[in-house]
Amino acid sequence: MKKKDSGKKVIPGKVVLEAKGITKRFPGLVANDHIDFEIRAGEIHALLGENGAGKSTLMNVLYGLYRPDEGELYSDGKKVVFNSPNDAIKHGIGMVHQHFMLIPTLTVAENIALGASGVLSRLDEVERKISAISKESGLNVDPKAKVWQLSVGEKQRVEIVKALYRGVKVLIMDEPTAVLTPPEVKEIMAIIRSMADKGLAVIPFITHKLPEVMAISDSVTVLRQGKVVARIKTKETCEKDLAKSMVGREVVLRIKRVEAKKAGVFLEVKDLCALNDKGLPALKNVSFSIEQGEIFGIAGVSGNGQRELAEVIVGLRKSTRGKVMIGNKDLTNCSTAKILDSGLGHIPEDRSKGVVGELSIAENLALELYAKEPFAYKWFLPWKNRIFINQDEVSKYADRLIAEYNIMPPNKNIKAGTLSGGNAQRIILARVLSRKPKVLISNQPTRGLDVGSTEFIRNKLIEQKRANSAVLLISEDLDEIMQLSDRIAVMYGGEIVGILPGHKAKIDGIGLLMAGSKDKSGASCRRR
């Protein structure tokens, strides 16, 4: 299956950066195993791979953050050695990290000037140069704006301008669209294409957004287990083949929509209000209900109240007003233990907080069940109560879940803190779903995961729906929300600004709502 030729003719320039036989080892791991990679002027060359495939390690070698144990780097045909990012920058290599390297209290110009020797005293000159770069590239960055005042998309543009200010010829981009709204994705992809057409070499490295890879890249290199397994022109491949190369098997990229068989409201939120960590309003009269057998998706750019909403429902944050009803019980501001005992399961936004790194896989899997039979022996004495763990039951339980959820490595005794993000998420999923929750709060369940783990987790959410759970899915991945949700709510500024049927949702309309637009065109939205 081949990509349809769009008519775009890519005329490759000279090779501007080349890696030959790059090998990088860490204790017990070969992260890069004799990798060859090259990129030409004017080319967008995507680097794909699952979590742990070696993408980040290779890019850190190219940017001077790591020294390779073996292999050589060439810039414009000349052998180079990068001892630090400064060396890479001097040779025209720039990198835009997924977590932006900006100081919020400084202006755009002050941020860009940092690291450029002696220019802080000439900010007017810096501002003029930024304005010229901004106009030429179409990035539209205001050099006088404070970084804290900017949207996520605007901050990413600042990072790109910072790289262009330094005169880069190769721009490495870590998950360039991961935190953007759909309109911002379209804009940044157009800008990247325009910069490449002017001779810039761009290396986006990506875990699972294959439609974007197909839309923008000229070439693709796929890594698996530290080795190059595919190197191909984009027009000669397709999403399905790329996914298979990444994972080593067929992957279902689009989950078939399952018709909801609703069995009555089981989770209801009424006029919910709450404060954020700074004491400012985070939730403003949020109301919705979810029936058993339904997935209710919440879309929105991070920071619009989604985290606070999940925390209030689960009992991790107090509400200042409103109610949380589970079944027919008012559990507003109850303890997390009481809420979990009512039949609620919680997949947290930050998976590092969902596992205890110093405990084993087996111990993590049994965390929510330690005090329950048959996992514990209870001794009740006049002067004290004690609970002793039944290690045999914990061990048998762990073996079953490790096999069912394909947790790797399957050694139940190793510490959970040594696992990849995908396997840590599988531990959380196994622990929560094995309790057969009647309500599931799933917050960013696939963020940062590769195509294989993403496919697995999305199918598990569909299984919960079929088992008549009421599922609240919070995700910044619009494709995920639109594939899985029976109804979709959009959050902006701590409010639900629209609720629409999943099968009628249009990505442009949802994107406008996510950006705070009052124009609801493209989606049949209504408040509820």
192 in the same domain as 60: yes
- Residue 341 included in any domain: yes
213 in the same domain as 143: yes
- Residue 429 included in any domain: no
Share of residues in the chain with pLDDT > 90 (%): 60
pLDDT band, very low/low/confident/very high, at 3 (cuts 50, 70, 90): very low
- Residue 275 included in any domain: yes
100 in the same domain as 148: yes
Q: How many domains does the chain have?
A: 3
Comparing 410 with 422, which gets the higher pLDDT?
410
| Pairing, β 439-443 against β 344-347 | parallel
Residue 367 structural domain = 356-418
Q: Is the pLDDT score of 524 beyond 50?
A: no
pLDDT value, residue 99: 76
373 in the same domain as 343: no
**3-state SS assignment for residue 442:** strand
- Residue 424 included in any domain: no
Domain finish residue from 418, 453, 468: 418
121 in the same domain as 26: yes
346 in the same domain as 447: yes
The CATH number linked to 46 is: 3.40.50.300
- Residue 427 included in any domain: no
165 in the same domain as 289: no
| Integer CA distances (angstroms), 466 to 169, 405, 430, 470, in order | 51, 18, 17, 10
Domain finish residue from 247, 276, 304: 247
Candidates 502, 488, 426; CA nearest to 457 is: 426
**3-state SS assignment for residue 486:** coil
259 in the same domain as 174: no
pLDDT value, residue 528: 37
308 in the same domain as 391: no
220 in the same domain as 367: no
User: In 300-401, where do the E strands start and end?
Assistant: 321-326, 329-330, 344-347, 376-381, 384-389
81 in the same domain as 209: yes
Integer Cα distance of 454 and 447 in angstroms: 8
Which amino acid would we find at residue 415?
Answer: K
pLDDT value, residue 250: 82
Q: Which two tokens stand for residue 409?
A: 């490595």
**Burial degree of 322 (CB within 10 A; 0-12, 13-18, 19+):** middle
- Residue 223 included in any domain: yes
- Residue 409 included in any domain: yes
- Residue 324 included in any domain: yes
287 in the same domain as 168: no
The stretches of 138-267 forming alpha helices (DSSP H) are: 152-165, 182-197, 210-216, 239-247
pLDDT band, very low/low/confident/very high, at 330 (cuts 50, 70, 90): very high
Q: What tens digit of pLDDT does each residue of 131-170 get? A: 999 988 888 899 999 998 887 788 889 999 999 999 999 9
Pick from 300-309, 318-327, 399-408 the range whose average pLDDT is largest: 318-327
pLDDT band, very low/low/confident/very high, at 116 (cuts 50, 70, 90): low
pTM (two decimals):
0.73
pLDDT value, residue 308: 96
Domain finish residue from 217, 247, 277: 247
| Integer CA distances (angstroms), 74 to 38, 79, 164, in order | 9, 4, 21
Residue 99 sits at φ, ψ, to 5 deg, of -100, 110
Q: Is the pLDDT score of 120 beyond 90?
A: no
